[in-house]
Amino acid sequence: MYADGSIAGHPTEALVGGQNGYPAIPTSAAHIAEQMESGGARVEETLVRLNCKYQTLFFCAGMAAVSAGCIGALSSLLTLQLACLINSAFLVFFGFVMMLLDVPGAPRWAGRYRAAIRKHFRFLTRLTGKALWLLFLGSMTAVTLWPSSRQSHALLFFTICLSFFVSSVAIVGLLIAVRKSLRLEKVRKAILMSCKGAYIDVYRKYAMTDPQHGMQFEEFNRLCADVTGGRLQFDITDLGIIYNALDDHQKSAINEREFSEWMTGKENLQLCALCIILHARVST
């Protein structure tokens, strides 16, 4: 769908979207989004070939942040640097939080801690929020461990490697998150186009097992396949990520209210805003 429009300070150009009350997305920003989606697909394919889950990378990145915090804490205690000690404690705490979220095997003992993290730091349970936070921890790692003396070549090399690893994992996670978000957005648009605003009827048609509790994984996947002509479906891992974002109470189901919020909610505006910001950066 295209509509003519103009942006202040820019010539009139084609815009994508602009219907259903959502802001139009510049075509150049849409192209960037497509490139990011293809980049995320290549990253996921590479991880599959390496037989490595991105959750394992997140766990290792959290461990790297904890290691950086411990080293920084020891150094700050020896040199009596209070600011460095605070930074190190911050790294240790949030690095350990990241480890708890993605500890391999999902042991039962970690479940209650994950529930507490979800309650107090819910953004860390979202793939995008987790990736952005890891990017911040990567920069904190460099700030905390960066040697004050230019003669400390070994520490400098170690700091660069550790910070680069954490930041690289964050970028990998961000690419994967953007790809999954864009695929989900395609499903949302397909639903809106097919139902012409009567999305509640769509929900009631597919939430057959327990409409009061919510739409199950299989029902949501069937909806995605039907509205996209079989082009878009999600595996169990992707469905877990989607439900983690849309399901407010982690009941493994999307109820009617949550489905309506997804159709008309803030997440879609945020995606459009991201594309517009990317377009503005490219234009400048």
Along the 284 residues of the chain, how does pLDDT read in single tens digits?
Answer: 333 343 344 433 333 444 444 444 445 656 676 777 777 778 888 888 888 888 899 999 999 999 999 999 998 888 888 888 998 999 999 999 999 988 887 777 877 788 788 888 888 888 888 999 999 999 999 988 888 777 678 888 999 999 999 999 999 999 888 888 888 888 888 888 888 778 788 888 898 888 888 899 999 999 999 988 888 888 888 888 888 778 777 778 888 888 888 888 654 444 444 444 444 444 44
Contact at 8 Å (CB) between 109 and 118? Answer: no
Asked if residue 84 belongs to a domain, the reply is yes
Asked if residue 4 belongs to a domain, the reply is no
Q: Domain of 123?
A: 54-176
Asked if residue 109 belongs to a domain, the reply is yes
Asked if residue 26 belongs to a domain, the reply is no
Asked if residue 200 belongs to a domain, the reply is no
Asked if residue 16 belongs to a domain, the reply is no
Asked if residue 125 belongs to a domain, the reply is yes
**How many residues are present in the chain?**
284
Asked if residue 246 belongs to a domain, the reply is no
DSSP 12: -
Number of folded domains that form the chain: 1
Ordered alpha helix ranges (H), the chain? 27-49, 54-79, 82-101, 111-120, 127-145, 153-195, 199-206, 217-227, 236-246, 256-264, 266-283
